């Protein structure tokens, strides 16, 4: 009799758990793949699954986080001033200017995100961590007024110590120096790490999603941007974080291959605004927000002869649309010749998967480069699954062998290119706060294409034979990881 009651009790618990799971998952709109992944977790892990969902599954539409996108759009007025001034003098249009070719995507970003095209820019690309930090440190040493730093990972490390010491020195010199970071991405970095910096007059904040984690259950949302703005005129944006692995002084990953860009010009105004919005949203209620003053947005300091077209696009769960992902889909399906992508993670949702396969079946040369090793095992196995599957559609998948590939770069038809923080996975599409620079210039696109070709020399092209040799157990792990990929 007791055994029967136990069986009935278990059945009732499972029934209640299943009904609760369905109500929980379907109470708000979400991607169908993500929906099924959460149902799988909630049903297979009774009670425990709901605890996981409380921290990783809830949305933040109701949170104050939307203050990020509701703040003043000050850079627009400054850009308008520059446009008016430029009309009064002859323009030296670049022969590499591809804005006519890219008119459709430029309008999409501007109308969706209020991200205007900026023209008065110069850009320099960096493909090595030591070179990136060397040049960025030189910019900071020459700073006269402000240094604003925003990173997903600011790790206590040798390069982190060097960076923080430099920022501390600039704070002692009387500059306004601020650091915004994501504690979850920064690993073991504790608040006390910044005490010396703060004592010198510097300011530091953890991103808003790291605050009140227990009460607000924001654990699944991260600041993934990598931005530095010096004096409001020089901006850095790309894939490098702050840590020793990024400058190749650790053995775990070998050579760390990444891409970052240094921008001097009007696009820096948008990077400065991005920092202001993220900083103000992360402040405590009692703190005074940064004011959008003209001194922080010095539009009169740029060389109007420079004519490089750049858009800075930010995205995150504060937006109701997946703007960056949709923009990439637009460019992929619009490509006539080639689509080359580098990403450490390759876990596309249905829309992105369809766009990639349509392009390949239309005769477009689609190539995607991924790392040969994991930094997150589940995501890596899911990446392998999609790499294998995309290969069957004629897409060339390259596995970088020299070390760890962390670059988030794309080139379309050798005319448009992108450098930034967005990976091609569910997390970057909808959960992380990302930022990318889109450059509409064939000369810059060719430079990134050359770097990718060089990386191909250090890569292995995935073939059906290689896929077959992976074995049944590895294929099982790939398929299982793929099921959970929407919530990783």
Ramachandran bin of 212, using left for φ above 0, alpha for ψ from -120 to 50, beta for the remaining angles: left
Backbone φ and ψ for 438, nearest 5 degrees, come out as -110, 120
The residues annotated as belonging to the active site are 224, 226, 231, 406, 408, 413
Residue 402 sits at the vertex; the CA angle it makes with 397 and 405, to the nearest 5 degrees, is 60
* Distance between CA atoms of residues 294 and 45, nearest Å: 54
The residues with which 6 forms a beta bridge, in sequence order, are none
* Distance between CA atoms of residues 380 and 191, nearest Å: 31
* Distance between CA atoms of residues 7 and 13, nearest Å: 10
In terms of Cβ atoms closer than 10 Å to its own Cβ (0-12, 13-18, 19+), residue 149 is buried
Backbone φ and ψ for 9, nearest 5 degrees, come out as -65, -45
Strands (E), 295-357: 310-315, 338-342
Question: Closest Cα to residue 133, out of 300, 221, 14, 245?
Answer: 245
Q: Are 314 and 75 in contact (CB under 8 A)?
A: no
Question: Closest Cα to residue 239, out of 115, 371, 111?
Answer: 371
CB hemisphere CA count around 313 (13 angstroms): 31
CB hemisphere CA count around 79 (13 angstroms): 24
Could you tell me the CA-to-CA distances from 135 to 126, 319, 375 in Å, in that order?
9, 33, 27
- Number of residues that this document lists for the chain: 488
Q: Are 221 and 431 in contact (CB under 8 A)?
A: yes
What b/e readout covers 317-353, taking b as 16+ CB neighbours within 10 angstroms? bbbeebbbbbbbbbbbebbeebbbbbbbbbbbbeebe
* Distance between CA atoms of residues 106 and 116, nearest Å: 8
Residue 128 sits at the vertex; the CA angle it makes with 123 and 134, to the nearest 5 degrees, is 75
Strands (E), 316-453: 338-342, 365-371, 396-400, 403-405, 409-412, 416-420, 434-440
* Distance between CA atoms of residues 166 and 230, nearest Å: 13
């Amino acid at each position: 009799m007791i055994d029967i009651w136990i069986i009935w009790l278990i059945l009732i618990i499972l029934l209640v758990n299943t009904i609760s799971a369905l109500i929980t998952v379907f109470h708000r709109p979400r991607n169908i793949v993500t929906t099924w992944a959460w149902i799988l977790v909630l049903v297979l892990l009774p009670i425990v699954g709901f605890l996981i969902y409380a921290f990783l599954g809830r949305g933040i539409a109701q949170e104050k986080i939307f203050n990020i996108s509701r703040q003043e759009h000050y850079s627009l007025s400054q850009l308008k001033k520059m446009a008016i001034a430029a009309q009064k003098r002859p323009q030296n249009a670049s022969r590499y200017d591809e804005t006519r070719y890219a008119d459709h995507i430029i309008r999409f970003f501007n109308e969706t995100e209020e991200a205007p095209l900026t023209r008065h820019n110069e850009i320099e690309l960096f493909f090595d961590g030591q070179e990136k930090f060397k040049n960025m440190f030189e910019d900071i040493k020459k700073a006269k007024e402000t240094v604003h730093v925003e990173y997903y990972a600011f790790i206590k490390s040798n390069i982190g110590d060097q960076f923080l010491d430099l920022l501390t020195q600039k704070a002692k010199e009387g500059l306004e120096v601020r650091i915004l970071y994501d504690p979850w991405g920064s690993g073991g970095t504790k608040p006390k790490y910044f005490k010396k910096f703060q004592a010198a007059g510097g300011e530091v904040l953890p991103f808003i999603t790291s605050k009140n984690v227990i009460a607000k259950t924001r654990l699944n949302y991260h600041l993934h941007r990598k931005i530095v703005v010096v004096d409001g005129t020089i901006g850095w944006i790309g894939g490098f974080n702050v840590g020793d692995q990024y400058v190749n002084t650790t053995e775990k990953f070998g050579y760390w291959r990444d891409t970052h860009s240094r921008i001097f010009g009007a696009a820096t105004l948008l990077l400065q605004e991005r920092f202001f919005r993220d900083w103000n949203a992360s402040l405590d209620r009692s703190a005074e927000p940064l004011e959008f003053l003209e001194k922080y947005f010095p539009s009169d300091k740029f060389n109007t002869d420079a004519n490089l077209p750049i858009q800075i696009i930010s995205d995150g769960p504060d937006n109701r649309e997946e703007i960056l992902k949709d923009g990439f889909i637009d460019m992929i399906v619009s490509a006539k010749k080639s689509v080359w992508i580098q990403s450490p993670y390759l876990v596309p949702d249905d829309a992105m998967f369809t766009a990639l396969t349509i392009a390949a079946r239309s005769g477009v040369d689609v190539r995607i480069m991924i790392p040969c090793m994991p930094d997150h095992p589940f995501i890596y196995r899911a990446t392998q699954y999609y790499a294998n599957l995309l290969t069957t559609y004629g897409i060339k998948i390259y596995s970088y062998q020299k070390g760890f590939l962390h670059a988030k770069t794309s080139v379309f038809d050798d005319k448009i290119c992108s450098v930034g923080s967005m990976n091609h996975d569910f997390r970057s599409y909808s959960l992380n706060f990302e930022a990318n620079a889109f450059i509409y210039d064939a000369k810059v696109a060719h430079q990134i294409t050359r770097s990718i070709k060089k990386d191909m020399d250090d890569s292995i092209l995935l073939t059906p034979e290689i896929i077959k040799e992976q074995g049944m157990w590895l294929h099982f792990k790939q398929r299982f990881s793929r099921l959970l990929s929407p919530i990783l």
